[in-house]
Chains A and B, each alone.
Chain A
Amino acid sequence: MTWPRVVFEPRLVPSPWARRLQPPLALVLGLALGAVVLAVAGLSPLAAYAQMATGAFGSFYALSDTAVKATPILLTALAALVTFRVGLWNIGGEGQLLLGAWAATGVALHVLPPSTPAVLFLPALLVAGALAGALWAGGCGWLRARLGVSEIISTLLLTYVAAQWNAFFVFGPWSEGGFPLTPRFPEAAWLPRLSDAAATWPALSGLTLHLGLALALAAAAFVWVLYERTRWGFRLRVEGDNPRAAVYAGLPLARDLVLVMLLSGALAGLAGAAEVSGVVHRLQDRFSPGYGFSGVIVAWLARLDPWLAVPVAFLFGGLLVGGKEVQPAGIPAMLQGLVLLAIAGTQVLVRVRVRVAWREP
């Protein structure tokens, strides 16, 4: 009598096919697992998914809302991806986003006078946000390069510090009348929206899409050019592929790691600045539903490709928007978690060949 048995054999060379197919497989697997949970909760998975898809992509308004959510997700995905590609793990994009939002708020409410023209106001506010995020992540990069402190731990834990930092300001010194939010920004500090042009093109009225999306798309292009077409990007690719070869060739590995963390933090900080200036026009406690963490998942699903990150970020933006259409709340977070689990679980397929063998008697 023979028994079937699953055998895992390490591959000597990672399979290029498995590497390509793993992200879509993980996505499908995550949604399938989600369907099981929905069914157990007494919902019809198909109906729920259909409702979510309509809610996210079914109309111009829905698409506009989805794009608004996709903007910070794309920027934080780029932030995660630039570090993942050099073998660093900045998973604290959320914290850098929060601090970017804080710095932008500080500039909008307390540094520049409300009469400042928008052409000055917006760049100042965005740069401040990027700078704050850069310093928040750059510190972790420096600790990693100099002292070997794990940037996974430091970036993650500093996220909670950033959240408390913001809470202190919105509950305390910057609070408007005791509510956990700041006063509104002056209008010159608002990123332009499509609906701003409704006076000329009435069709645009009610569309909340703001200039942040253009910034995020430009950032994706920038990251691609940086890695694929510049001398520094070439160096980073070598450092990411084999740090020992980089050191052997005399590349400044430690310095580049810090610089990449600064860049990463700047992208996440920009996401925070664009969010407060483009959507709510004020800093609120817990304004982010975890964009930075979604960004980490998006970076993996996009296989660290900045162009692929764009559609995947839209998908995750849609998950947030469409998820509001179904009850109970929390379904988007559950699906995100399951997709992340599926990514981690299917990663093994790239390095291991799985086959069924018949056990000998």
Chain B
Amino acid sequence: MVASPAAPAVRLRGIVKRFPGVVACDGADLDVLPGEVHALLGENGAGKSTLMNVLAGLYRPDSGEVALGGAPVRLRSPRDAIRRGLGMVHQHFMLVPTLTVAENLALGLEGQGALLHRAALEIAVERLGRDVGLPVDPTARVWQLSVGEQQRVEILKVLHRGARVLLLDEPTAVLAPPEAAQLFDALRRLAAEGRSIVLITHKLDEVAAVADRATVLRRGRTVAAGLAVASTSSEQLSEHMIGRPMGRRLARSAGTPGEAVLEVRGLEVLGDRGALAVRGVDLVVRAGEIYGLAGVSGNGQRELVEALAGLRRPAAGHVRLDGVERTGSPVAEVRAAGLVHVPEDRQAVGVAPRLSVAENLALGGVPAGGWWVSPARLLADASTRAAASGIELPAPATVAGTLSGGNLQRVILARELAASPRLIVAAQPTRGLDVGATEAVHRLLLDQRARGAAVLLVSEDLEELLCLADRVGVLFGGRLVGELAAPELDAGRLGRWMTGAS
């Protein structure tokens, strides 16, 4: 299928890209041949998107080489990358909603006259869409299109600009399964024409469905390059992604679950776009137990967590905390009832970035004692809180925005756990953390379980759930499609449920 003697369409060698406190890419390599669909795999934070943004001309690498068709290049800007035939389809679309499809495609094209030949353009767009197998109405306005159709427009835009290499960043995250199948057909067709496709994903079934070869990144490095998908098993790929064989267990005592702390009945929650994101979920989390909620992100986890934490009103159903109805209660009320929330997006939601660690600790509730709040008092409270939580915290005067992910999570956990909560809702608490910080978070969650707290642990990382959870439920398409309890936890069955197989 792949013509091996040809010079690679894209060749990346030793790409390093640092951000303050983070090395996103730490010597990553990638070879993409003409006419292939190449999957770029890795866990969240492995550096996939950063590597693609280097290739799209958005980031300049701190070191490393980029070669296109065998010739070394320096990509100065996205425009430069487009001119060299690299086209990126971002997760967040870059379209002008009030313009038509054809007008969006005309934007940013070089070398055209002052006049827009609308009719000719519309015919060209229509034909292009039909040829590739991504049909769109060129006269429709973008805001009227579904998300899947908008994605088609993005891909056509990139093709219309003459891209020979297509970079797609998790394109199926926003698609329903039939739309994804149609997209994969189109990608195969484009590859057959000699174009190269780079598909960023962490879904292994997609790799098997569409890719010729796969490259796996872990912690910014390429750990497996150019694996032929046909002769590589999903288990091997996931081992590369995680860095160790599946199935290792952390030593952990058997739990003694007590009374139900959280009861969710028939919960339905609307997503940001107004469609049902959570469709009738029933679950119970007991005192002294960790309930793991597995699933590929975008299957309703965020909406479910926000509904529990009081940040999103449920459309239907019931939420009870310790037997008391709390459906749609405001945040302050559910927090007073003993719920704490470790948010998924800790930078954007969990902290006030320009305030100090001490002030961020106080965000969990300034201790009682009048309206006067002095910096000295906040600092004193911070140290008592740190001591009480048993968590090693950065200096209280440090500005929160400068903390590393691990330290930031320590601050958030210290704050949230200080209140001896009844229920801990932890969303992706170890995403992007290094091994040490991850273990610290795991230990804290197990301590809380031993103390008798109920823990709802939402995670995409099956391995983590197998280590920690007493029971695991799988969320797919907004429904709880399966649930297993501790002795019977089985990565294979859970994994199949996560991909929607029944």
Report A's interface with B, CB cutoff 8 A: 12-13, 228-234, 237-238, 241-242, 244-252, 360
For A251, what are the chain B residues with a Cβ–Cβ distance below 8 Å? 332
- Say yes or no: A244 contacts B371, CB within 8 Å: no
Question: In the complex, are the beta carbons of A249 and B20 less than 8 A apart?
Answer: no
Chain B contacts for A247, CB-based, 8 A: 311, 331
Return chain A residues, CB-CB under 8 Å to B20: 12-13
Are the C-beta atoms of A231 and B331 separated by less than 8 Å?
Answer: no
| Complex CA distance for A226 and B23, rounded to whole angstroms | 41
Given contacts A12-B20, A230-B371, contact A245 B332 (CB under 8 A): no
Ranked nearest first, the 6 interchain pairs of A and B with the lowest CB-CB distance are: A250-B331, A250-B332, A241-B352, A242-B352, A231-B371, A238-B352
| Known pairs A245-B363, A250-B332, A250-B335; A230 contacts B354 (CB<8 A) | no
8 A-B pairs (CB sep. < 8 Å): A13-B401, A230-B371, A231-B373, A234-B366, A244-B349, A245-B349, A250-B310, A250-B331
A229 to B350, Cβ gap below 8 A?
no
Q: How many A-B residue pairs have CB under 8 A?
A: 68
Q: Give A248 to B330 CA distance when docked, in angstroms.
A: 10
Q: Please report the C-alpha to C-alpha distance between residue A122 and residue B359 in the assembled complex, in whole angstroms.
A: 40
Contacts of A244 in B (CB 8 A): 348-349
Tell whether A237 pairs with B352 under 8 Å between CB atoms, given A12-B20, A232-B371, A250-B310: yes
Q: Which of A234, A248, A252 contacts B350 (CB 8 A)?
A: A248
Instruction: Write the chain B residue with the least CB distance to A238.
Output: B352
Q: Does B374 contact A (CB under 8 A)?
A: yes
B351 engages A229 (CB within 8 Å):
no
B366 touches A231 (CB 8 A): yes
B402 interfacial contact with A, CB 8 Å: yes
Which residues of B383-407 have CB atoms within 8 Å of chain A's CB atoms? 401-402
With most chain A CB atoms within 10 A of its CB, the pick from B332, B348, B363, B366 is: B363
On whether the beta carbons of B355 and A250 are closer than 8 Å, the reply is no
Query: B432 near A: Cβ within 8 Å?
Result: no
Option from B309, B330, B350, B372 in Cβ contact (under 8 Å) with A245 = B350
| Other-chain residue from B331, B353, B354, B359 in contact with A248 (beta carbon distance below 8 A) | B331
Which residues of chain B are near A230, meaning CB under 8 Å?
371-373
CA distance A234 to B363 in the complex (A): 9
Given A230-B371, A234-B373, A248-B349, does the pair A241, B355 have CB atoms closer than 8 Å?
A: yes
Find out whether the CB atom of A234 lies under 8 angstroms from the CB atom of B362: yes
Contact assessment for B371 and A249 in the assembled complex, using a CB-CB cutoff below 8 Å: no
| Contact B330–A250 (Cβ < 8 Å) | yes
Q: Is the CB of A245 within 8 A of B366?
A: no
B341 on interface, CB distance cutoff 8 Å: yes
CB neighbours (8 Å) of B363 from chain A are 238, 245, 249
Chain A neighbourhood of B330, CB < 8 A: 250
- Alpha-carbon gap, A93 to B341, bound state (A): 39
- CB of B226 within 8 Å of the partner chain: no
Closest chain-B Cβ to A205's Cβ sits at a distance in Å of: 44
Report the nearest A residue to B306, measured CB to CB: A248
Least Cβ distance of B393 to chain A in Å?
18
* Contact A245–B371 (Cβ < 8 Å): no
Extra contacts besides A229-B373, A238-B359 (10): CB < 8 Å: A13-B20, A13-B402, A228-B375, A234-B366, A237-B359, A238-B352, A238-B355, A241-B352, A246-B352, A249-B335
A45 to B: closest C-beta gap in Å: 39
Q: Report which residue of A233, A249, A252 has the largest number of chain B beta carbons within 10 angstroms of its beta carbon.
A: A249
Bound complex: CA A246 to CA B348 (Å) = 11
CA distance A242 to B351 in the complex (A): 7
Say whether A248 contacts B311, CB under 8 Å. Answer: yes
A357 to B248, CA, bound (A): 52
Question: Whose C-beta in chain A lies nearest to the C-beta of B332?
Answer: A250
Residue B129, interface by CB 8 Å? no
Q: How far is the CA of A246 from the CA of B352 in the complex (A)?
A: 8
Query: Taking the nearest CB of chain A, how far is it from the CB of B210, in angstroms?
Result: 35
Please name the residue on chain B nearest to A234 by beta carbon: B373
Instruction: Say how far B361's CB is from chain A's closest CB, in angstroms.
Output: 11
- Contacting residues, chain A, for B473 (C-beta < 8 A): none
A248 and B341 in contact, given A12-B20, A241-B354 (Cβ under 8 angstroms): yes
Judged by a CB distance under 8 angstroms, whether B171 is at the interface is no
| Chain B hits for A237, CB < 8 A | 352, 355, 359
Closest residue of A by beta carbon distance from B351: A245
Report chain B residues within 8 Å CB of A248: 309, 311, 331, 341, 343, 349-350
B364 interface residue, CB < 8 Å from A?
yes
Cα–Cα, bound, A249→B351 (Å): 9
Contacts of A234 on B, CB cut-off 8 Å? 359, 362, 366, 373
Alpha-carbon separation in the docked complex, A228 to B330 (Å): 27
Residue of A nearest to B416 (CB): A249
A239 — nearest CB in chain B belongs to which residue?
A: B352
CA distance A238 to B364 in the complex (A): 11
Say whether B373 contacts A249, CB under 8 Å: no
CB of B43, distance to nearest CB on chain A (Å): 23
Report the minimum CB–CB distance from A85 to chain B (whole Å).
11
Contacts of A233 in B (CB 8 A): 373
A234 to B373, CA, bound (A): 8
Chain A positions within 8 Å of B402 at CB level? 13
Look across to chain B and name the residue whose beta carbon is closest to the beta carbon of A246.
B352
CA distance A251 to B77 in the complex (A): 42
B residues 454-489 touching A (CB-CB < 8 Å): none
In the complex, which residues 331-358 of chain B have their Cβ closer than 8 Å to any Cβ of chain A? Answer: 331-332, 335, 341, 343, 348-355
- B353: A residues at CB distance < 8 A: 241-242
- Looking at the assembled complex, report how far the CB atom of B438 sits from the nearest CB atom of chain A, in whole angstroms: 23
By the criterion CB–CB under 8 Å, are B331 and A249 in contact? Answer: yes
B8 to chain A, nearest CB (A): 24
Q: Could you tell me the distance between the alpha carbons of A234 and B372 in the complex, rounded to whole angstroms? A: 10
Q: Are A229 and B372 neighbours in the complex by a CB distance under 8 Å?
A: yes
- In the assembled complex, the Cα of A257 lies from the Cα of B366 at a distance in Å of 20
Residues of the A chain whose Cβ atoms lie less than 8 Å from the Cβ of B370: 231
* Distance, CA A219 to CA B401, complexed state (A): 31
A-contacting residues, B51-107, CB 8 Å: 74
* Distance, CA A248 to CA B349, complexed state (A): 7
Contacts of B310 in A (CB 8 A): 250
Pair B311/A245 contact, Cβ less than 8 Å: no
Instruction: Tell me which residues across on chain B come within 8 A of A229, comparing CB atoms.
Output: 372-374
> Which residues of B are found within 8 Å of A360, using beta-carbon distances?
74
B107 CB → nearest A CB, Å: 22
Q: Nearest Cβ in chain A — how far from B331, in angstroms?
A: 4
Give bound CA distance, A251 to B311, whole Å.
12
Q: Could you tell me the distance between the alpha carbons of A303 and B287 in the complex, rounded to whole angstroms?
A: 50
User: How long is the Cα–Cα vector from A25 to B353 in the complex, in angstroms?
Assistant: 26
Give complex CA distance A231, B372 in Å: 6
Residue of B nearest to A244 (CB): B349
A232 partner residues in chain B, CB cutoff 8 A = 371
Rounded to whole Å, the gap between the CB of B422 and the closest CB of chain A is 16
Cβ–Cβ < 8 Å partners of B364 in chain A = 249
The CA of A221 and the CA of B332, in the complex, are separated in Å by 31
Closest to B336 in A: A250
Q: In the complex, what's the smallest C-beta–C-beta distance from A167 to chain B, in angstroms?
A: 40
Which residues in B have their C-beta under 8 angstroms from that of A246?
352
B354 cross-chain contacts in A, Cβ below 8 A: 241
How far does the alpha carbon of A111 sit from the alpha carbon of B56 in the complex, in Å?
70
Q: How far is the CB of A17 from chain B (nearest CB, A)?
A: 15
Nearest CB on B from A351, distance (A): 14
> Closest A-chain residue to B350, C-beta based?
A245
How many angstroms from the CA of A230 to the CA of B377 in the assembled complex?
11
**Taking CB as reference atom, which chain A residue is nearest B366?**
A231
Residues of A within 8 A of B373 (CB): 229-231, 233-234
